[in-house]
Amino acid sequence: MKNPYQIVKRPLLTEKSDRLRETDNQYCFEVAVGANKLEVKAAIESLFEVKVSSVRIQNRIGKAKRMGRFTGKRADWKKAIVTLKEGEVIELFEGV
Amino acid sequence: MSDSLLRVELTESGPCERTMSVTVQPEAVKLEREKVIAEIRKEAKVKGFRPGKAPRNLIEKTYAGSIREELLQKVVSKNFQKALEQEKIAPLSQPQVEKVDLEDDYKLSFQARFEVSPEIELARYKKFKIEKKVSKVSDEDVDSTIENLREQYANFVPKDGAADKGDYLLLDFSVLDEKGNTSPEGRRTNQLVMAGHEDSHALFSHALVGKSEGENQKIEIDFPGDYPDESLKGQRVTYMVDIKNVRQKSLPEVDDHFAKQISQTEDLAALRTMIWENLEREINQRADRQVEEDLFRQIIEANPFDIPSSLVEVTIQRQIENIRKQGQAGDEMQMAELIRPSAEFAVKREYVMGEIARREGISVADEDINAKIEEFATQLDKTAEEVRKDFRSREAMNHLRSLILVEKVVRFLLENNDIKQVEE
């Protein structure tokens, strides 16, 4: 198995993720672009010692940014919305 | 929050100093903390959230430092005020807050140190014996005043011939170097110098005695070895001096014409009377001030009390500022030490005055103010209304009030103490 730390990059803490967590017990993460749902599931389960019921994945296209006359582009990234089994909690988000 | 939530311990930590230990109940702190968090939350910008939308626990974590700071500041100042009301004391100085202690977010205690007005027991402030020393005006005093006036109204008339000591010379001069050449830097034009004047250029001005108009000659001066100016000490300097004219001071004759010229009096006799009266008034005023000061000095000596140092410092600072405004510079520390005794006296006097006013029920009524305004009006040749306008502001009015109060207290003291006029 791949190193879970290389798959899960960072937790996403936003108004939207906060809402999802409260209503649907879903947690959002930025994950490696190459990762698939199964890999994310395994990584989350081992990192936080929780049971994952499902993973949904979005490919986010990086925003186009300009620096004067040069256009550039932020890197594309992958977002995973992880639904936990009922009663499971990721402490990391709770304390925050 | 009710007063019962405060536990206050008051100790005398100095003659005019109190230390107050306050313990605030956790409930009060908790309440305040919620307010602080809510306040911060409204403005807080956290990435991923619109301003004001970030969750509370996130705020609490990211802003822990500023929450604590704000909380301490608010709780301490609020409860300090509350404690003052509870204990019914009024601090004179900004409190020194120390030992602020916040445990487990809710247990808060602090200590505040501040100065308070002293308790004054005026055991005795009447029946002191004061001598009012008044000196007689003599004919010589009037003469010397007139002599001063003559000096002030002196004319400078051109004079032929040699300058005597005390005459003024208008001249150009330049300093010659070893080869006898002048240099532009050493040249001064149109200088007015008094011949034989005893100032820092005494050597030069003495050398001018006996010179006359149109003379153009060298003056050699040997500066002595102990001459204060380093660059000239022990040097022989040659000056080229070009005297443009000599003027003699001419004092006006003391006669009726002089009297008319300098004053609104008719003749010399009237001028003398006026000067006589002015001198007498001056002496009397000075004596009155002296009596007042002696009186307060005696009262203060008879009723010792401590004064808060912060008030003394404020007084000192104010006086230093005044001195600075008059354009005098000096070492701040030195000045402060010089002023200190008089500042302490002023503060004590202020307290004594206040206490006497309180005890004797002396206060400033509206009639007093009106009377004072009328008085100013006649003095300044204005209408009462105009004067009243000058005292529109609250500050000016308070100033006027305290002025009148001081006058009334002084009058009371003069009536109740033994003032004996002594002629010197």
Closest chain B residue to A13, measured at CA: B48
Say which residues have a Cβ less than 8 Å from residue B125's Cβ, sequence separation at least 6. B299, B302, B303, B352, B356, B413, B416
Sort strands B155-158 and B236-250 into parallel, antiparallel or unpaired.
antiparallel
Share of chain A above pLDDT 70, in %: 95
The DSSP annotation for B210-256 comes to T-BTT-EEEEEEE--TT-SSTTTTT-EEEEEEEEEEEEEEEPPP-SH
Contact between residue B306 and residue B173 where contact means Cβ atoms under 8 Å apart: no
pLDDT confidence tier of residue A79, bands split at 50, 70 and 90: very high
pLDDT confidence tier of residue A93, bands split at 50, 70 and 90: low
Contact across the interface for B57 and A15, Cβ inside 8 Å? no
Contact between residue A64 and residue A73 where contact means Cβ atoms under 8 Å apart: yes
Tokens of A36: 């698939």
Q: Given the structure tokens 């005006």, which residue do they identify?
A: B137
Provide the shortest C-alpha distance from residue A64 to chain B (in Å): 19
- DSSP single-letter state for residue A76: P
Which residues 2-61 of A have a C-beta within 8 angstroms of B? Answer: 12-15, 17-18
Task: Identify the CA nearest to B193 among candidates B232, B241, B146, B157.
Answer: B241
3-state secondary structure of B412: helix
Contact across the interface for A14 and B48, Cβ inside 8 Å? yes
Contact between residue A94 and residue A13 where contact means Cβ atoms under 8 Å apart: no
CA dihedral B245→B249→B255→B257, nearest 10 degrees, is: 40
B344: Cα separation from own chain's centroid: 14
Q: How far apart are CA B45 and CA B52, in angstroms?
A: 7
Closest chain B residue to A17, measured at CA: B48
- DSSP single-letter state for residue B163: P
Give the sheet arrangement for strand B107-115, strand by strand: B6-14, B17-24, B107-115, B96-103
Provide the shortest C-alpha distance from residue B37 to chain A (in Å): 15
Contact across the interface for A13 and B61, Cβ inside 8 Å? no
Q: How far apart are CA A75 and CA B221, in angstroms?
A: 90
Contact across the interface for B48 and A17, Cβ inside 8 Å? yes
The shortest CB-CB distance from A15 to any of B50, B57, B61 is to: B50
3-state secondary structure of B203: helix
| A29, pLDDT greater than 80 | yes
Contact between residue B251 and residue B151 where contact means Cβ atoms under 8 Å apart: yes
Tokens of B180: 């006898």
Contact between residue B238 and residue B219 where contact means Cβ atoms under 8 Å apart: yes
Q: Does domain A4-86 have CATH number 3.30.70.330?
A: yes
pLDDT computed for residue A14 by the predictor: 87
Q: Where are the beta strands (DSSP E) in B25-160?
A: 96-103, 107-115, 129-134, 155-158
- With beta carbons under 8 A apart, name residues in chain A contacting B63: none
pLDDT computed for residue B1 by the predictor: 43
pLDDT computed for residue B2 by the predictor: 47
pLDDT computed for residue A94 by the predictor: 62
Closest chain A residue to B48, measured at CA: A14
Contact across the interface for A12 and B50, Cβ inside 8 Å? no
Contact between residue B118 and residue B129 where contact means Cβ atoms under 8 Å apart: no
Residue B234 amino acid letter? G
Query: Phi then psi for B319, rounded to 5 degrees?
Result: -70, -40
Contact across the interface for A12 and B58, Cβ inside 8 Å? no
Query: Phi then psi for B211, rounded to 5 degrees?
Result: -85, 155
Give the angle B142-B146-B152 at the CA atoms, nearest 5°.
150
Q: How far apart are CA B67 and CA B23, in angstroms?
A: 20
β-pair partners for A83 = A26, A54
Q: How far apart are CA B191 and CA B207, in angstroms?
A: 15
What DSSP element (H or E) covers A65?
A: strand A64-67
Q: How far apart are CA B196 and CA B270, in angstroms?
A: 37
pLDDT confidence tier of residue A81, bands split at 50, 70 and 90: very high
Sketch out chain B's domains with CATH numbers: 6-115 (3.30.70.1050), 155-250 (3.10.50.40), 259-423 (1.10.3120.10)
Contact across the interface for A15 and B53, Cβ inside 8 Å? yes
| A27, pLDDT greater than 80 | yes
pLDDT computed for residue A51 by the predictor: 93
Say which residues have a Cβ less than 8 Å from residue B239's Cβ, sequence separation at least 6. B173, B174, B175, B176, B204, B218, B219, B220, B221
Per-residue pLDDT of chain B in tens (424 residues, 90 and over written 9): 444 567 777 777 667 777 777 777 777 778 888 888 888 888 888 888 888 888 887 887 788 788 788 888 887 788 777 777 777 777 777 777 777 777 766 777 777 777 777 777 776 766 777 777 777 777 788 788 888 887 877 777 777 777 777 777 888 888 777 776 777 777 778 877 777 777 667 777 777 777 777 777 777 777 777 777 777 777 777 888 888 888 887 777 777 777 777 777 777 777 778 888 888 888 888 888 888 787 777 777 777 777 777 777 787 778 778 877 777 767 777 777 777 777 777 777 777 777 777 777 777 777 777 777 787 788 777 777 777 777 777 887 888 788 887 777 777 777 777 777 777 6
pLDDT computed for residue A26 by the predictor: 92
ipTM: 0.73
Q: How far apart are CA B397 and CA B368, in angstroms?
A: 12
Residue A71 CB coordination number (10 Å): 9
Tokens of B390: 């000058």
Question: What residues does each domain of chain A span?
Answer: 4-86
Tokens of A67: 């620096």
β-pair partners for B9 = B21
- With beta carbons under 8 A apart, name residues in chain A contacting B58: 13, 96
